[in-house]
Amino acid sequence: MFRTLRKALREELESNDHRIGQGWISGASSLVLSLAAFLLVVGSRFPGLFTSVQLRKLEAMPGFDHVLQGALLIAFLLACTSMVLRQNKLLGLTSAFLIITATFFGSFAFKSAGGGGVHTVLALDWFVLNLAITGALFLPLERLFRRTPMPIFRFEWRSDILYFAISSMMVQPLTYLTTLPASVVLAHGHLSALRAWTVGLPWPVQLAAVMFLTDFFQYWLHRAFHKVPFLWKFHAVHHSAQSMDWLAGSRMHVVEIVCLRSFTIIPMYTLGFANTVIYAYIAIVYVYATYLHANLRFDVEGLKGFIATPRFHHWHHGIEKEAIDVNFSIHFPVLDRIFGTYHMPGKAWPSAYGVGGHPVPEGYLKQLAYPFTPNPAPAETT
C-alpha cells in the first residue's frame, strides 16, 4: 500500500498540469512547505541528534516556534486550496497529514540526550535552510529564463534531491574529513611567515587569490578524475545526470566530495587567509556551482573568456564527442585556455547531457556502489 501511495504521489508531482487554477501549484507548494516544517519540528525536539551547532542558537530563539506555526498555517491553507481546485486530492491530503503530524509532534516537550558537546548530528535544519535558500533563488530564475522547457520535478529529480539532502545533513562529518589533510599540512608545514604575509594583503586581493588558487588546484584534480580510470568511475556518477538544472550539481559520489574538497581546501586553510575571506569564498562557490549547472539560457558572452558561465559548464557535461574532457575550470576559463581544454563553439549549446551509452545505473544506492562494481560497463568520459 505504501509503495502504491508513493508511486501515485510521484506521478502527481511529475504531472505537467501546472496551469494556474488547477490546484497543482498550491498542492506542490503545500507539500514542500509542510515537509520542511515537519523536519524542522523534529530537529527542534531532538537538537542533539538533528540540529547543527551553528543553527542551534537561532532555533532556540523565542520566535522560532511562531515561524514554524506560521509555516504550517500557510501550508494548511495551500492544501485546502489544492483540494478544492484539483480533482486528484493526493497532494493536499499528504500535506494535511504532514501538518497534523507536525502539530501533534510539536505539542510535546522532548528532551534529547547529548544536546551539548561535540558529536555527530544529522543536520535536518541545514538541509531545510539550504534547500529553501537555493530553491528560492534558482527556481524563479529557471522559470523566467529557462533554456529548455523542463518541469520542476523532472526526470531523476528524486535521486538528485537525495544527493542534496545527504550532502546537507552530513555537513559536519564531511567537513571534518575534508579539513583533515589541511590540518596536517598546517601542523607540519612551517608556514608561519607565509601566513603572516598573506593575512596582511588587502581583503579583495585575498579573495581573488583564494579563488584562483583553489580553482587551479581543482582544475588539475578535476582533470585527473577524467583521465584516471579508477577516479573516473566516481566522477561518472556526477556526469550521469541527463538533465541540467539547479539540482544537477548535487549529484556527486561521496568519495569524490571528500577528495575534491580535501584537495582544494589545502590552499584555502593553510596560507593564512582571513576567516571572512574564507566565508565569502564558500558562499560564492556554493551559489556559483549551482548557477553553472542551472537551466538558464542567458549567457554573458562578453565575459565568457574571463569567468565561467552556464554554457561553458554545460559543454563540460555535453554528450557530444567534442565535449569530452573540456572546460574543467569552475571559475576562470583562462586555465582551460592555457592548458588546451577550452571549448565554446560559437553560441551553440550541447544537444544532450550524460555519459556516452549511459552506463551508470539509476538510483542513489546503485550509483553509490557503481564505482566498486567489478568491471562496470565502460563509461565514455564527457
Q: Residue 381 pLDDT more than 60?
A: no
- What is the rounded CA–CA span in Å between residue 9 and residue 72? 20
- Confirm if 237 and 371 have CB atoms less than 8 A apart: yes
Across 124-128, 158-162, 245-249, least confident range: 124-128
Which pLDDT score is estimated for 232? 94
| Tens of pLDDT, residues 46-96 | 777 777 766 777 667 777 777 877 888 888 888 888 888 888 888 888 988
Under the banding of pLDDT at 50, 70 and 90, the label for residue 244 is: very high
Helix axes 24-45, 64-85, angle to 10 degrees: 150
Which pLDDT score is estimated for 116? 47
In angstroms, the first-to-last Cα distance of the chain is 41
Q: Residue 246 pLDDT more than 90?
A: yes
Taking the whole predicted model, whether its pTM rises above 0.85 is answered as no
All 3 cell numbers of residue 337? 585556455
All 3 cell numbers of residue 29? 507548494
All 3 cell numbers of residue 268? 584555502
Tell me how far CA of residue 74 lies from CA of 96, 243, 341, in angstroms.
Answer: 11, 32, 50
Amino acid identity, position 136:
A
Q: Residue 112 pLDDT more than 50?
A: no
- What is the rounded CA–CA span in Å between residue 141 and residue 295? 9
Across 154-168, 305-319, 363-377, least confident range: 363-377
Q: Residue 159 pLDDT more than 60?
A: yes
Please give the average per-residue pLDDT across 117-128, as a whole number.
70
Residue, of 227 and 73, whose pLDDT is higher? 227
Would you kindly state where each structural domain of the chain is located, as residue ranges? Answer: 2-118, 171-372
Contacts of 350 (CB under 8 A, 6+ apart): 314, 315, 317, 318, 319, 320, 323
Q: Residue 201 pLDDT more than 70?
A: yes
Please give the average per-residue pLDDT across 155-171, as a whole number.
88
Secondary structure (DSSP) of 347-382: T---S-BS-BT--SPSSHHHHHHGGGSSSPPPPBP-
- Confirm if 213 and 204 have CB atoms less than 8 A apart: no
Q: Residue 234 pLDDT more than 80?
A: yes
Give me Rg for the CA atoms of the chain: 22
- What is the rounded CA–CA span in Å between residue 244 and residue 163? 15
All 3 cell numbers of residue 196? 603572516
Across 9-18, 33-42, 139-148, least confident range: 9-18
Residue 268: phi and psi, rounded to 5, are -70, -40
Which pLDDT score is estimated for 121? 67
- Confirm if 210 and 268 have CB atoms less than 8 A apart: yes
The most confident of the ranges 126-130, 181-185, 282-286, 378-382 is 282-286
Contacts of 189 (CB under 8 A, 6+ apart): 270
| Locus of grid cell 587551479 | 216
- What is the rounded CA–CA span in Å between residue 65 and residue 40? 10
Q: Residue 118 pLDDT more than 60?
A: no
Which pLDDT score is estimated for 86? 86
Please give the average per-residue pLDDT across 166-189, as a whole number.
80
Average pLDDT, the chain: 85
Which pLDDT score is estimated for 225? 95
Q: Residue 227 pLDDT more than 90?
A: yes
Helix axes 124-144, 24-45, angle to 10 degrees: 160
| Tens of pLDDT, residues 277-336 | 998 998 999 899 999 999 998 767 677 778 999 999 999 999 999 999 999 999 999 999
- What is the rounded CA–CA span in Å between residue 76 and residue 173? 36
- What is the rounded CA–CA span in Å between residue 49 and residue 46? 6
Which pLDDT score is estimated for 110? 45
Please give the average per-residue pLDDT across 32-52, as a whole number.
81
- Confirm if 3 and 62 have CB atoms less than 8 A apart: no
- Confirm if 327 and 342 have CB atoms less than 8 A apart: yes
Which pLDDT score is estimated for 107? 58
